[in-house]
Structure 1
């Protein structure tokens, strides 16, 4: 019953926000500045999205040097100098000049903890409020969303901006609707809902309504760049703006990692996992698979080590990291598992260069930058058998296998044991094929495709 009251209330709130901001936005059209404003509220998340941000800034600076670049950020200690230094230290990206910074103070309205229920719609409406703060402080000619806040696009259009986005992951997808309909348990569909027919139906109505809204706001973009074949197919279905959608693979540090030797220390095989400590990354599955593999390991083979490398965005991520440490103790593998939090780019390269394999376990990972990094570094990927890794990355190269795909704990354990037990010549052959395939997703390829995509939009800029 409750959802029937919530739906009209959400519609009313959505309309009220649009109407309430319209007058202010029309005024903002007159004061647009010749700049590209990157809407990226979390400039310290350390993930693939942040790498795209800095590479996108660099690409714009190369393409049109006299066009100012600024970043809207909720990180209050961020400065032009600190962000430029972070781009180099964490991602190896050197900006041609520091970006301007616009600080946002309403970021709590996009925090998932602010909305215990109806999180997606709450965060989406909250993003509009945050974008309103951003655009009132500085109204650019070009509004560039690099974080997936599609509900901000109509607002940016009202302010007179050209809207460009780089979409890593659709906020909602037909896969999510399918999981709720089938009552499958997952991080975004907890047991209390999955076990209840009534609650599942209510959630399905909510998701269907939200996907309709998402399709409307997404259609307000002038250019939508997407990071994979999987994301492209979903965005085309949801937004219905196929001519405006361009697939631009994300920038992966293939050149910097390809100089690493393919040979690895034989004494202790190292398996690396690079991902933010977020629930969808399914680190727990990796620990369980590693534990199973260790128990099944032939006594003649050396015991492997598992190294987690990731960043924490907030308190929830910190708590999740501690739970993983506790789980490692529970599984009795804590002496073979090590956690590295918020490492520098240089340290990450060193860790990748020592790994024989890289593990990834997110279901429907939109692309999988870490998987490409494994391959470029010479670590054989063991990735989830879905979306980006399945459709774009872990495919044969010149008829040779480049890695393994898995879904269950047993399948991951089998793949771990396969890599550890490989003869050195076989491992080197597979690692070399994986490295060749990784060149398809290089940073230079991103720059070329990105510039080709944005050039028609930027070439019509106001003077």
Structure 2
């Protein structure tokens, strides 16, 4: 053993000497930053303008800390350069209806390009993960909090936060990699995260399986650095426990859904024309194209005596890629000759979203392995019958029976979505109201109040423990 250590020392000594100035600089930076630690909770959320369910969780998490521990400052690490304490507080109320106790402090990040998917055309996962290490270093060099709270799923930042002496808390919406992803690559299934070129090649598929296996191992290591883990669904918890281990520190806390604000909407609403609404960001995994194809088939197969339905896409665009995706979706509607019955609502305010949900007959969701599915719950709370993908969160937690009554539909391909939409259209008013009422009752399990109750109970464990220390 001594001989081996001597050999390794001799082999790597030139590298140690070469990088010693850098290593010393990094160590001194950490020591200096730790001495300036703030009595605060730092929320690592580089995109505070994405408009999705993850951003709602951020603001509810901030509000929960403010109510639970008023003595702690809440700091948001964001790459949105125009963000200010006042604008973020206003955004929380305008977009999500979340009224913060006070404006959060803001730390601006200027290296966000290192976590953008466009920076890594290939090996995107590992590229973004390594990039997040660099971004978290920038964040923590600017301000070191007592508690580092990741609300965006950047697990590779946890060891960095531990080096800076932070207690690490995270709310994980979905695992960066899952066993389902590995099995799809093994089966050579083409999806948004498995290029068709790779799926068709045996060699490339084998290489990708090796890549995914190595990445899942690394992901398990960095995830183990978290002191406290919250996940948003049964599906996510099962995968995170397998990857990160230690189930005693992993808690299922359903995300905050605006059920109270939507439950005041009347269940009775005009049925002509039937309106199908699809609420989600314009991202590839949301499968808008599939929904549009199914809608076109509905119109083709609709009895002429029945009114022609309307489809409303409601969502936000994070970047140019999302804008291009939205443009292609509009072109597809023209190609399918349904553009006269399809509407697109981009970056709507919370108030407008509520109005649209209040007029919808049913809501569409088509993402495979959606970790939870906040939009599905919002449909149910608003009185719109959900038609969701038959996998993960919607299947395991949301679209279940309520007092023995059906609350919606689960579908998996274009034909099944078409059939479900036609069933909704052909329902009598009494049938629709009965299902909508059961769905609304089911949605109360995922209320904002329930989130705060469970979230505070979990977070309080680490806050109280740290105070004792």
TM-score category of the 2 structures, normalised to the smaller one: over 0.9
In the TM superposition, residue 21 of structure 1 has moved relative to its aligned partner by 4.4
Where does residue 72 of structure 1 map in the other structure?
77
CA 1:33–1:153: 2 relative to 1, 3 Å: same
TM-score, normalised via structure 2 length = 0.94
In the TM superposition, residue 278 of structure 1 has moved relative to its aligned partner by 0.3
Q: What number of residue pairs does the alignment pair up? A: 450
Partner secondary structure for residue 188 of structure 1: coil
Partner secondary structure for residue 386 of structure 2: strand
Partner secondary structure for residue 278 of structure 2: strand
Where does residue 343 of structure 1 map in the other structure?
348
Q: 1:238 aligns with which of 238, 243, 254?
A: 243
Where does residue 34 of structure 1 map in the other structure?
39
Greater CA deviation, 238-247 or 395-404? Answer: 238-247
Q: Is the contact made by 1:352 and 1:379 (CA closer than 8 Å) also made in structure 2? A: yes
In the TM superposition, residue 112 of structure 1 has moved relative to its aligned partner by 0.3
Aligned counterparts of 1:23 and 1:253: Cα–Cα separation in 2: 46
Where does residue 408 of structure 2 map in the other structure?
403
Task: Determine whether 1:106 maps to 2:111.
Answer: yes
In the TM superposition, residue 28 of structure 1 has moved relative to its aligned partner by 2.5
Aligned counterparts of 2:189 and 2:431: Cα–Cα separation in 1: 38
Q: 1:119 aligns with which of 118, 124, 131?
A: 124
Task: Give runs of aligned pairs for residues 172-251 of structure 1, distance below 5 A.
Answer: 172-251=177-256
Partner secondary structure for residue 261 of structure 1: coil
In the TM superposition, residue 23 of structure 1 has moved relative to its aligned partner by 4.7
TM-score, normalised via structure 1 length = 0.95
Aligned counterparts of 2:316 and 2:50: Cα–Cα separation in 1: 7
Aligned counterparts of 1:389 and 1:297: Cα–Cα separation in 2: 27
Partner secondary structure for residue 456 of structure 2: helix
Q: 2:94 aligns with which of 86, 89, 96?
A: 89
Q: Is the contact made by 2:271 and 2:361 (CA closer than 8 Å) also made in structure 1? A: no
Q: 1:422 aligns with which of 424, 427, 436?
A: 427
Q: Is the contact made by 1:18 and 1:155 (CA closer than 8 Å) also made in structure 2? A: no
Give deviations 1:161-214, integer Å, cap 9, x for gaps. Answer: 000000001000000000000000100101100000000000000000000000
Q: 1:298 aligns with which of 298, 303, 312?
A: 303
Aligned counterparts of 2:32 and 2:243: Cα–Cα separation in 1: 31
Task: Determine whether 1:25 maps to 2:44.
Answer: no
Aligned counterparts of 2:244 and 2:139: Cα–Cα separation in 1: 24
Where does residue 363 of structure 1 map in the other structure?
368
Where does residue 449 of structure 2 map in the other structure?
444
Q: Is the contact made by 1:306 and 1:338 (CA closer than 8 Å) also made in structure 2? A: yes
Larger Cα-atom Rg: 2
Aligned counterparts of 1:21 and 1:96: Cα–Cα separation in 2: 37
Unpaired segments ≥5 residues, structure 2? 1-14
Aligned counterparts of 1:19 and 1:44: Cα–Cα separation in 2: 37
Q: 2:134 aligns with which of 126, 129, 133?
A: 129
Give deviations 1:17-69, integer Å, cap 9, x for gaps. Answer: 99984553243222211000000000000000000000000000110111100
Partner secondary structure for residue 353 of structure 1: helix
Where does residue 6 of structure 1 map in the other structure?
none
Where does residue 316 of structure 1 map in the other structure?
321
Aligned counterparts of 1:215 and 1:400: Cα–Cα separation in 2: 40
CA 1:429–1:66: 2 relative to 1, 3 Å: same
CA RMSD of aligned residues (A): 1.5
In the TM superposition, residue 139 of structure 1 has moved relative to its aligned partner by 0.3
Where does residue 437 of structure 2 map in the other structure?
432
Task: Determine whether 1:150 maps to 2:155.
Answer: yes
Q: Is the contact made by 1:172 and 1:211 (CA closer than 8 Å) also made in structure 2? A: yes
Aligned counterparts of 1:241 and 1:373: Cα–Cα separation in 2: 32
Q: Is the contact made by 1:26 and 1:158 (CA closer than 8 Å) also made in structure 2? A: no
Where does residue 50 of structure 1 map in the other structure?
55
Partner secondary structure for residue 461 of structure 1: helix
